[in-house]
Amino acid sequence: MVEWFLIPMQRDPAWVKARIAARILMRRQAGRVSKRDARLAHRLAHDSGVTDRLIDQALACLCAERKGASYHDLLRATLATAA
């Protein structure tokens, strides 16, 4: 019998896309957005599987992985530009 934790898990495509969107948000905050990032962000914004909540969770995950990034500062800046 194979233990469940030894079976490689498939990554959810929406989660992968949300992490990409979160990375684009982090680059935007740093002022390093390319034309390619802008095109990709536009495509991801219209993807029904990539929800705001999923992007928020991906952003929190990336900020936790990168110890220097402040999730709350990034979120405040993102929400301020959206208003």
- 73 or 37, higher pLDDT: 37
How far apart CA 55 and CA 15 sit, in angstroms, is 8
2-38 pLDDT, tens digit each? 566 666 667 889 999 999 999 999 999 889 999 999 9
CA–CA distance, 44 with 14 (Å, rounded to integer): 10
Digit-coded pLDDT (tens) for 29-46: 889 999 999 999 999 999
Q: Is the pLDDT of residue 48 over 90?
A: yes
Among 30, 31, 22, 18, CA closest to 63: 22
pLDDT reported for residue 19: 95
